Structure 1
Amino acid sequence: MNKINKVVLAFSGGLDTSVILKWLQDVYQCEVVTFTADIGQGEEIEPARAKAQGFGIKEIYIEDLREEFVREYVFPMFRANTIYEGEYLLGTSIARPLIAKRQIEIAQETGADAVSHGATGKGNDQVRFELGYYALKPNIHVIAPWREWDLTSREKLLEYAKKHGIPIEMKQQTGSPYSMDANLLHISYEGRLLEDPAKEPEESMWRWTVAPEKAPDEPEYLDIEFERGDIVALNQERLSPAVVLAKLNQLGGKHGIGRLDLVENRYVGMKSRGCYETPGGTIMLRAHRAIESITLDREVAHLKDELMPRYAALIYSGYWWSPERKMLQTMIDESQLNVNGWVRVKLYKGNVVVVGRDSKTDSLFDPAVATFEDDRGAYNQADAAGFIKLNALRMRIAAQLRKSFKK
C-alpha cells in the first residue's frame, strides 16, 4: 500500500462516506480533507460540516456549485438534445465531471496526494469519477474503498459505524428502500423492489412529481426564451441557469412530467433497472428541439441527431474530459449561435406539448414558401419534377437492370 499523506474525500455526510472517512483515517493513517458539493440535491449540506468536525477534520470544503453545474454542464449537454439509449437524460452522469474537477482542484490547493469517492465497484460512477481524476491530474492516487474493504453490505456498514461511534441519522438506521441520487437535473432510484424489472414502482417512491392522473385538470402554458441554445427567461422573466432549472422542476413536478422507468446498459457490462424523475429536463429537451426546428439548417440538425448518441455515450461512460467530447462540444456550440427565440409549451398531465415557436432574428421558416395558398412565385412547383427524377435515377437504373435479366 502506497503511503498517502493527505486525501480529498467526496463527502456527503451519509452512511457510506462517513464510514469511508473513518476507514481512511484508520487504514491509511492519513489526513483527510472533506469536500461537499451542493449541486441541488435538495438536502441540507451544512450538517456535513459538523460531522466532519466530529472526525477531527481540519480542512472542510462545502461549496454551492448549482449555477456552475447548470451553466457549464447541464446546458452544454442539452444543446445537443442528449439522451442515452433513447430515454435517459443523464442526470447522474453529468454531475460527476464537476465533482471530479473540484476534487482535483482542492487536492492541488491543499497539497493532497490522493482523492477518494464512495462509488461501488459495480457501478458507472467509479468510472466517471476516476476518468475525470486522471484526465485532470494524471498521477493522482485514487482510493476506492468499495474495491478494497470487506464491508460488502449495508448491515456491515452499520456494524462498522456502531463499533466506531459514527453518528448515523435515524432515517439511515431505518433505511431507505431505494438507493437514490439527486441534483438539480434529476433524482434517481435503484435497488430493492426495482431489482425485479417486472414489478411496477410504488407510487410512494416518487419524490418530485405527482402521478399524472392526479395532476391539475387545467393545462398550464409556459413561454421559454432561448439565446444561443440556452434558456434565459421563463414567461418573459430573465433567470439564472440554476433558477431556470429549479423553476422548470417545480412546474414539471406539479403536472406529473418527467417520470422514467428504464433498464439501461451500464458501462461496466451489466443491465440495471432504475427509475428517474427529470421534470425540468424533460421540458427543456422538448422546448429546445422546438426552437431548433425553425432556426437550424436541415443538414446541421440531421448531423446533430446522428452524432448525439455518440455524445450521450461519452457522457454516460465518464468521458466528459476526453478530447473527443470536447471536439463534439465545439461543433455543437457552433450550431447554437442562431438558436434564438421563444417556445410556448402546454403542460398537462405528464405531457409537454409544444404549441408555438418563433424567432424574430433567426427563423428559417418562410411562410411565403411554405404556404398552401398562392405563394406568388416564391416556389416553382414545376421544379420538383426534375428534382424527383434525378433522385430516382439510381433506382430507375437498378429497376431497368432487373427487368432486362428477367427477359
Structure 2
Amino acid sequence: MGKIVVDLADIDERFLRNNRVICLFSGGLDGTYLLHHIASVLPSASVLALTIELGGGDGLRAGRVCDRLGFDHLVLDQTDEFLAGYAFPAIAAQAVYLGTHPISASLTRPLMVQVATAVAHEQGYDAVLHTADGTQNSLRRFNQTFAALRFSGSYGSPFAVDAPSREKKLLELADSGLLELVERSRPESARYSTDVNLWCREFEADGLDDPERIDVPEALYEWTTPTATEPVEVEVSFQHGAPVALDGQALSAADLVRSLNALVGAYGLGRYIGLEEIANGQKVQEVREMPAAHLLLDAYRRLEQASVDAATLREKIHLEQIWVHEAVEGRWLGPLRTAAQAFIGSVAQAVSGRVRYRVSGAGLTPRAVIAHNPLYVRDRVEIPQA
C-alpha cells in the first residue's frame, strides 16, 4: 500500500526514484508549480502530466508547460462522459448546494480520479498526485475517491498541509519563465484560481473570499457578459430525464450545453455566489457562472412537476440534498449517494417532454411546459365534479 502525500517534503528524491508518478494537470498555477518542483528535485523523474479534458480547453495550456519541462503529457477528453454520467444526473437531482449554487467540482473530481487510476493501472504508474489544498473541499473529494477505489499506490496533494503561498508560487514560476505560459491563455490565472469545464467556470482567491464585501471584477466573467438586447424564445426537450434537443433539433450533450451557455449567458444570467462549508466547519465563498445549468435546472423541475405525482416529488426533494451532501463530501461512490441516485434515476424515467422560455435580461419566463405523459389538466372545467 502506498502513502498519502500531504506536503512538498513528501515529494523528495527518494520518492521520485521509487515511483512513476501521474500528476493531474490542467496547466494552472498550482499544477505548474508542482511540476516545477519535481523537475528541480529530480529532472529525470518518470512523470506523466495527465490532463482530463472536460470541455474547459485545458489541453493546449498544459501542453506548453510540459514541453518546457520535458515531461510526458497525455490529454484524455472525457467531456461526454462528464455530462452524461455526472452533470445530467445532477440536473435530475436538482444539485444546488443549500439553495445557493449548483455544484460542479463535486462532479468532476470522482471522474478524474477514476480516469487517473485506470491510466495508472494500465501504464504501470505507482502514484497519482493532485493539487487541492486544505481550504478546498476538493482535497477530500479526490482522496476519498482514491480510497473508495482501493488504489494501491500513493496518492494525495503536496499542498494539503503547509501549502506555499500563492505569492511564493508566482515568484518562483516568474523566475523560471513558466509563469508566462500559465498566463498566456488565461491572464487571470496569476491572480485567481480557476476551475473550468463545460458545465461551470469557477474562480477563487485574491479578494473573492470575503462575504462581507462581495466585489467580483466584471472581467472575470466570460460566459455571462451581457451582450443581447432583444428577448428570444428557446425550447429544451427532455427524454427520460436527460436534455436531448433545443428548439426541436437533437444535439449531443456537449453541443446542447455549449449552445445554452452562449444563449443564456448573453443575457447575464447564470451567475452564482454562495458559501460552502469545508472540513473544519468554517465556510468559504464560491463564485461561479453556469448559464446552461441555470436554465436546465429550472426546466427539469417544471417538467418533473408536470409528470410526477406530488407524494413521490416530496420524497425526492428530501433525497436531493442527501445526494448533494454526499457528492460535496467526496462520497460519490458511497452507498448513500448511490441509493439516492437509484431513486432519483427511477423518477427521471417519467420526465419527458418540452419546456419553452422567453429569455431576456430580466430572467427566464416560462412560456410552455408540455409533458409527454402529463398529470395536469389544460382547463379546470375538465376536472370531474364529485
Shorter-chain TM-score above 0.5: yes
- Structure 2 regions of 5+ residues with no counterpart? 1-9
The offset of 1:324, in angstroms, is 1.4
Contact between 2:261 and 2:291, CA under 8 Å: does it hold in 1? yes
Q: Which residue in the other structure is 2:119 paired with?
A: 106
The offset of 1:163, in angstroms, is 5.5
Q: Which residue in the other structure is 1:40 paired with?
A: 55
| Cα deviation digits, residues 240-297 of structure 1 (max 9, x gap) | 1111111111111111111112222224422112221110001000100111111112
Structure 2 counterpart SS, 1:193: coil
The offset of 1:177, in angstroms, is 3.7
Contact between 1:25 and 1:32, CA under 8 Å: does it hold in 2? no
Contact between 1:151 and 1:157, CA under 8 Å: does it hold in 2? no
* Residue 31 (structure 1) aligned with residue 46 (structure 2): yes
Contact between 2:308 and 2:350, CA under 8 Å: does it hold in 1? yes
Q: Which residue in the other structure is 2:5 paired with?
A: none
Q: Choose which of 155, 159, 178 in structure 2 pairs with 1:146.
A: 159
* Residue 365 (structure 1) aligned with residue 376 (structure 2): yes
In the alignment, residue 75 of structure 2 is paired with which amino acid?
I
Q: Tell me how far apart the structure 1 counterparts of residues 280 and 181 of structure 2 sit (CA, whole Å).
A: 32
Q: Which residue in the other structure is 2:385 paired with?
A: 379
Q: Which residue in the other structure is 1:86 paired with?
A: 99
Q: Which residue in the other structure is 1:198 paired with?
A: 212
Matches within 5 A, 1:241-252: 241-252=253-264
Q: Choose which of 351, 354, 362 in structure 2 pairs with 1:342.
A: 354
Q: Tell me how far apart the structure 2 counterparts of residues 54 and 343 of structure 1 sit (CA, whole Å).
A: 49
Structure 2 counterpart SS, 1:112: coil
- Structure 1 regions of 5+ residues with no counterpart? 381-407
Q: Which residue in the other structure is 2:173 paired with?
A: 161
Q: Tell me how far apart the structure 1 counterparts of residues 60 and 275 of structure 2 sit (CA, whole Å).
A: 35
| Cα deviation digits, residues 155-200 of structure 1 (max 9, x gap) | 3213433565646437379864432211111111222222332323
Task: Kindly name which structure, 1 or 2, has the bigger radius of gyration based on alpha carbons.
Answer: 1
Q: Which residue in the other structure is 1:266 paired with?
A: 278
The offset of 1:7, in angstroms, is 1.2
Contact between 1:286 and 1:354, CA under 8 Å: does it hold in 2? no
Q: Using a 3 Å threshold, how does the CA distance of structure 1 residues 27 and 45 change in structure 2: closer, same or farther?
A: same
Q: Which residue in the other structure is 2:87 paired with?
A: 74
* Residue 209 (structure 1) aligned with residue 224 (structure 2): yes
Q: Is the deviation greater in 289-298 or in 184-193?
A: 184-193
The offset of 1:205, in angstroms, is 2.8
Q: Using a 3 Å threshold, how does the CA distance of structure 1 residues 92 and 31 change in structure 2: closer, same or farther?
A: same
Q: Is the deviation greater in 82-91 or in 230-239?
A: 82-91
Q: Using a 3 Å threshold, how does the CA distance of structure 1 residues 71 and 299 change in structure 2: closer, same or farther?
A: same
Contact between 1:258 and 1:278, CA under 8 Å: does it hold in 2? yes
* Residue 351 (structure 1) aligned with residue 363 (structure 2): yes
Q: Using a 3 Å threshold, how does the CA distance of structure 1 residues 262 and 151 change in structure 2: closer, same or farther?
A: closer
Q: Using a 3 Å threshold, how does the CA distance of structure 1 residues 283 and 18 change in structure 2: closer, same or farther?
A: same
Structure 2 counterpart SS, 1:356: strand
Q: Is the deviation greater in 161-170 or in 110-119?
A: 161-170
Q: Tell me how far apart the structure 1 counterparts of residues 268 and 188 of structure 2 sit (CA, whole Å).
A: 29
Q: Tell me how far apart the structure 2 counterparts of residues 137 and 30 of structure 1 sit (CA, whole Å).
A: 25
RMSD of aligned C-alpha atoms?
Answer: 2.3
The offset of 1:111, in angstroms, is 1.0
Q: Using a 3 Å threshold, how does the CA distance of structure 1 residues 179 and 5 change in structure 2: closer, same or farther?
A: closer
Q: Is the deviation greater in 300-309 or in 351-360?
A: 351-360
Q: Choose which of 249, 253, 258 in structure 2 pairs with 1:237.
A: 249
The offset of 1:373, in angstroms, is 3.0
Structure 1 counterpart SS, 2:354: strand
The offset of 1:141, in angstroms, is 1.1
* Residue 12 (structure 1) aligned with residue 23 (structure 2): no
Q: Tell me how far apart the structure 1 counterparts of residues 189 and 298 of structure 2 sit (CA, whole Å).
A: 36
Q: Choose which of 49, 65, 71 in structure 2 pairs with 1:51.
A: 65
Q: Tell me how far apart the structure 2 counterparts of residues 137 and 51 of structure 1 sit (CA, whole Å).
A: 31
Q: Using a 3 Å threshold, how does the CA distance of structure 1 residues 197 and 71 change in structure 2: closer, same or farther?
A: same
Q: Using a 3 Å threshold, how does the CA distance of structure 1 residues 352 and 198 change in structure 2: closer, same or farther?
A: same
Q: Using a 3 Å threshold, how does the CA distance of structure 1 residues 67 and 170 change in structure 2: closer, same or farther?
A: closer
Q: Tell me how far apart the structure 1 counterparts of residues 174 and 233 of structure 2 sit (CA, whole Å).
A: 52
Q: Tell me how far apart the structure 2 counterparts of residues 283 and 104 of structure 1 sit (CA, whole Å).
A: 34
Q: Tell me how far apart the structure 1 counterparts of residues 176 and 218 of structure 2 sit (CA, whole Å).
A: 37
TM-score by length of 1: 0.84
| Cα deviation digits, residues 89-139 of structure 1 (max 9, x gap) | 002221111111111111111111111001112211111111111212343
The offset of 1:356, in angstroms, is 0.9
Structure 1 counterpart SS, 2:99: coil
Contact between 1:314 and 1:320, CA under 8 Å: does it hold in 2? yes
Q: Using a 3 Å threshold, how does the CA distance of structure 1 residues 164 and 255 change in structure 2: closer, same or farther?
A: closer
Q: Which residue in the other structure is 2:7 paired with?
A: none
Q: Tell me how far apart the structure 2 counterparts of residues 37 and 359 of structure 1 sit (CA, whole Å).
A: 37
The offset of 1:44, in angstroms, is 5.1
Q: Which residue in the other structure is 1:135 paired with?
A: 148
Structure 2 counterpart SS, 1:194: coil
> Percent identity of the aligned residues?
28
* Residue 254 (structure 1) aligned with residue 266 (structure 2): yes
Q: Which residue in the other structure is 1:395 paired with?
A: none
The offset of 1:215, in angstroms, is 4.6
Q: Tell me how far apart the structure 1 counterparts of residues 261 and 255 of structure 2 sit (CA, whole Å).
A: 10
Contact between 1:255 and 1:348, CA under 8 Å: does it hold in 2? yes
Q: How many residues align?
A: 368
Q: Which residue in the other structure is 2:4 paired with?
A: none
Q: Tell me how far apart the structure 2 counterparts of residues 147 and 46 of structure 1 sit (CA, whole Å).
A: 27
